[in-house]
Structure 1
Amino acid sequence: MTTSDLVGLRIKTVRRQRGLSQAQLAHPELSDSYVSLIESGKRTPTPAVLELLAQKLDCSLSYLINGVTAEQMEDIELALGYARLALENGEVQEARTRFAELLANNNLTGLTTLRQDTEFGLALATEACGDLDEAISILLGLREEDLPTERRIEVMMVLCRAHRDSERLTEAVEVGEQMLAGSARLPWSDSLVELAATLLSAYMWRGDLLRARQFAAELLNAADALGTPRSIVAANWNASLVAQVTGHHEEALSFAERAMAMQAETGQPRGLARMRLSLLRVRLRARPMESEAVRDLLRASVAEFEQTSTSMIDRARVHVELANAEYMSGDFDKAVEHATIGRSLAPEFKHVLGAEAGLLLSRVYNAVGRHEEAAEHATSVHDWLTPLPDSRRSASTWFATAETIEALGDADGAVEAYQRALACAGL
């Protein structure tokens, strides 16, 4: 039913409940034929007529327009506010429950914008809980609806990110390019730059490094032209990742520091936590001699991640990175502790982070002479990597696995891992 049909049906229902005829409702300001046309959905009443009819029917204008009373609308908006606050505060499971309960409220059915806002919030909370498949399902449903431009860009950005984080890199690229390609492409805006930055990271993870370098330069120019904090953070953050992957570590550090400085001014908790991790990750690789200082900062980041709406994958990532810093600093017990936590938070056998954690555990145990356990963890990496699609990131992890297995003396296993690395790289 159209909006006009629904408004007309509500007017008709309340009129009958009040025991009024169409002529009685119309008199003296309106004609009964006009009321009949409104009730049948053939005429859309003006705001002034709707307000008049609400007064005559002794009901709220909100009910005639939305199908809910003013009190019910207030309750819905309050519940939505609480769900958003829970998400912002890192209480992601509570947020997911609140959004889901709100969607189950029949009063939300006719409130298209509020329902879409609630579904998008549920997708974000579901993503933050680590259930990427369900988050993708919600976002795909939203994508098919008639959405305002800004909301559509946000939906596509999160959908691109969820595909990327679940290693569905081809799908991530398709989603991003769908919004950015073609002659009808929207002009650059903060949200569009953020979507493009997510697409850039998908190019990088897939191994399209030439395209990634070119696109990073385009995004940096777009962000500088806009001059807004959001666009500058997104462009520099992802340009840093590309520079790091292509071996330009000091350049990567420079981009990351600029993004971090700008992000600190915005005060957005999730972005600030993730940007700090990105900066520390780059710093650890660009300046390994500073591993102890980076380790101390990463320890603080763990608490920061737990207090914000970062996803389970984000939390897995910070623990794995801290484990790496602990390993480089020589604290092998702490390295084992955080690698184990990181692996437990990663989606089981569906994410390369689990493989990276297992690989780090293998190296730690090998370093302390516990070679049998080291070999077991190296072997377990196969279980994490085998189900994943071929990508540059998978190739890199297979190569690191091959080096570790070779150091453990398993020549045959190393050859197999090297071959898998080549296959993932398309060689």
Structure 2
Amino acid sequence: MTGQDLVGQRIKTVRRQRGFSQAQLAHPELSDSYVSLIESGKRTPTPAVLELLAEKLGCSLTYLVNGVTAEQMEEIELGLSYAKLALENGEITEARARYAELLDGSGLAGLPERRQEAEYGLALATQACGDLDEAIDILNRLRRDAGAEMPPERHVSIAVTLTHCYRGRGDLAQAVQTAEDILGGAVRPVWTEGLIELGTALLAAYAERGDLLRAHQFGAELLAAAELVGTPRALVMTLWAEAIVAAETGRSDDAMKLADRALAIYSENGEPRALAKLRLDYAQIRLIARPSDAAFCRDMLTKLETELQESSVDATDKMMCAQSLARAELMTGRVERAGQHIQSMLPISEGMRKEQRAEAHLLAGEVLAELGRHEEAVSELAMVSELLDDAPPTRQTAHLWLTAAQVLERIDEPARGADAYRRALACVDL
């Protein structure tokens, strides 16, 4: 049944509840035949006519259009706002429950845009909880069911999230295909911020699957497109994606130039909470690209830790800051201080995705090994093995297995180390 039919049915239902005939409802502004055509779905009333009919029937215009009262609409909007706020603040379980509750109710049935918003929010919250298969199912169902009714911007947002989800579960071919379906034609679409974001997701997928030449070529094209779009967000997203690829491929000078430029742009245009997160990411990239700057990064992260504790950033960012601080302390030889940071890092990590938890426990194992607490280090590395046992075979997973193997080798656990080496090689099909 179309939206036009539903509007007509609502007018007919309320008219009968009020005890009006079609002629009584129509007089004197409209003809009874016109009201009949509206009620049968054969005519679409103009906004002015709908407003007139709502006034005559003594109901809200919102109810005639969407099937919900003004009070119900306010409640739905409030529910969506709370769910979105929970997601932005990192309260992912709460956000997921709120979006699911909204979708379980009947209030969104006549509100396709609000329903799409709730379904997309549920997919984001589900992705954040680490349930990538379920998030992918939600997103594909949303694309299929909404079809042409969905705004182009939403199609692009869904493609971005799908690309990240496929990449997260190790399905790099599908991640690339999802983005290339939109960006990979003979003629590129007109670039927008949304398409730039999709481009950065595609760039990460190229790099993850080891297609470094394609990543380099596409990265140059994407940066030129971001310059053309000209918004600070488009430029920062692209510069940051390029910096990560450069750091991971050993081009440390390029990585820092790109990261420095991104941070400079955002420092002038970004809001404080997002800027603090970007500075955290910057310190992480600098630790990778320039290990000799570990002391500088440690001081930067120490200041950031205080800022993050006093702000509303999510738990993931606070954990990543503690983790990066522990790494910086370890790199500068201050192992005891690194041990203090892992004590605050591990409890926060318990609610994270398996890969994030594995990375935290791996770092704890490294620190404990340096402290000479070998039994505790082995225990932490056993937890890493358990968490990674069914993880997707990505470059990140391979790196975690490789690092675990190296630590196990240092603490004289050759059998466990050999197994970790085999798992690392399996992740890259060797």
Query: Which TM-score applies when normalising by structure 1?
Result: 0.87
Q: Is the 8 A contact 1:319 1:341 kept in 2?
A: no
Equivalent-residue separation in structure 2 for 1:315 and 1:134 (angstroms): 27
**How big is the shift at 1:191?**
1.1
* 1:70 maps to amino acid: A
**How big is the shift at 1:259?**
1.4
Q: Is the 8 A contact 1:116 1:142 kept in 2?
A: yes
Q: Is the 8 A contact 2:366 2:407 kept in 1?
A: yes
Which residue of structure 2 lines up, in the alignment, with residue 48 of structure 1? 48
Which residue of structure 1 lines up, in the alignment, with residue 339 of structure 2? 333
Q: Is the 8 A contact 2:339 2:368 kept in 1?
A: no
Which residue of structure 2 lines up, in the alignment, with residue 200 of structure 1? 203
Distance 1:272 1:42, change over 3 A: same
Which residue of structure 1 lines up, in the alignment, with residue 241 of structure 2? 238
2:175 counterpart SS class:
helix
Q: Equivalent residues in 2 for 1:41-120 (5 A)?
A: 41-120=41-120
**How big is the shift at 1:300?**
4.5
Task: Report whether the alignment pairs 1:361 with 2:367.
Answer: no
**How big is the shift at 1:194?**
0.9
Distance 1:273 1:157, change over 3 A: farther
**How big is the shift at 1:121?**
3.1
**How big is the shift at 1:105?**
4.5
Q: Which residue of 264, 267, 282 maps to 1:264?
A: 267
Which residue of structure 2 lines up, in the alignment, with residue 11 of structure 1? 11
Equivalent-residue separation in structure 2 for 1:345 and 1:327 (angstroms): 25
Which residue of structure 2 lines up, in the alignment, with residue 255 of structure 1? 258
Task: Report whether the alignment pairs 1:159 with 2:167.
Answer: no
Distance 1:326 1:133, change over 3 A: farther
2:350 counterpart SS class:
helix
* 1:56 maps to amino acid: K
Q: What per-residue deviation string (whole Å, max 9, x for no partner) do you get for residues 253-281 of structure 1?
A: 11112112222334346643442222101
Distance 1:395 1:132, change over 3 A: closer
* 1:196 maps to amino acid: G
* 1:182 maps to amino acid: G
Which residue of structure 2 lines up, in the alignment, with residue 293 of structure 1? 296
Which residue of structure 2 lines up, in the alignment, with residue 212 of structure 1? 215
**How big is the shift at 1:157?**
1.5
Equivalent-residue separation in structure 2 for 1:419 and 1:74 (angstroms): 57
* 2:143 maps to amino acid: R
Equivalent-residue separation in structure 2 for 1:257 and 1:9 (angstroms): 60
* 1:158 maps to amino acid: T
Which residue of structure 1 lines up, in the alignment, with residue 224 of structure 2? 221
Task: Report whether the alignment pairs 1:344 with 2:350.
Answer: yes
Q: What per-residue deviation string (whole Å, max 9, x for no partner) do you get for residues 352-397 of structure 1?
A: x333333322322222222233334334433233322322222223
**How big is the shift at 1:342?**
6.0
Q: What per-residue deviation string (whole Å, max 9, x for no partner) do you get for residues 203-251 of structure 1?
A: 2233332222222222111111221111101100110100001001121
**How big is the shift at 1:10?**
0.5
Q: Is the 8 A contact 1:237 1:275 kept in 2?
A: no
Unaligned runs of 5+ in 2: none
Q: Which moved more, 1:5-14 or 1:46-55?
A: 46-55
Q: Is the 8 A contact 2:327 2:338 kept in 1?
A: no
Q: Is the 8 A contact 1:342 1:357 kept in 2?
A: no
**How big is the shift at 1:180?**
1.8
**How big is the shift at 1:338?**
4.5
Equivalent-residue separation in structure 2 for 1:90 and 1:30 (angstroms): 53
**How big is the shift at 1:7?**
0.4
Which residue of structure 1 lines up, in the alignment, with residue 39 of structure 2? 39
Equivalent-residue separation in structure 2 for 1:345 and 1:322 (angstroms): 20
Q: Is the 8 A contact 1:79 1:98 kept in 2?
A: yes
* 1:400 maps to amino acid: T
Q: Which residue of 180, 185, 202 maps to 1:182?
A: 185
Equivalent-residue separation in structure 1 for 2:214 and 2:136 (angstroms): 26
Q: Is the 8 A contact 2:169 2:392 kept in 1?
A: no
Unaligned runs of 5+ in 1: none
Equivalent-residue separation in structure 1 for 2:312 and 2:175 (angstroms): 25
Q: Which residue of 357, 382, 386 maps to 1:383?
A: 386
Distance 1:92 1:410, change over 3 A: closer
Q: Is the 8 A contact 2:322 2:342 kept in 1?
A: no
Q: Which moved more, 1:105-114 or 1:178-187?
A: 178-187
Count of aligned positions: 423
Equivalent-residue separation in structure 2 for 1:423 and 1:130 (angstroms): 23
**How big is the shift at 1:337?**
1.7
**How big is the shift at 1:19?**
0.9
* 2:53 maps to amino acid: L
Equivalent-residue separation in structure 2 for 1:60 and 1:299 (angstroms): 55
Equivalent-residue separation in structure 2 for 1:72 and 1:384 (angstroms): 44
Equivalent-residue separation in structure 1 for 2:300 and 2:169 (angstroms): 28
Equivalent-residue separation in structure 1 for 2:326 and 2:132 (angstroms): 24
1:20 counterpart SS class:
coil
Equivalent-residue separation in structure 2 for 1:91 and 1:337 (angstroms): 22
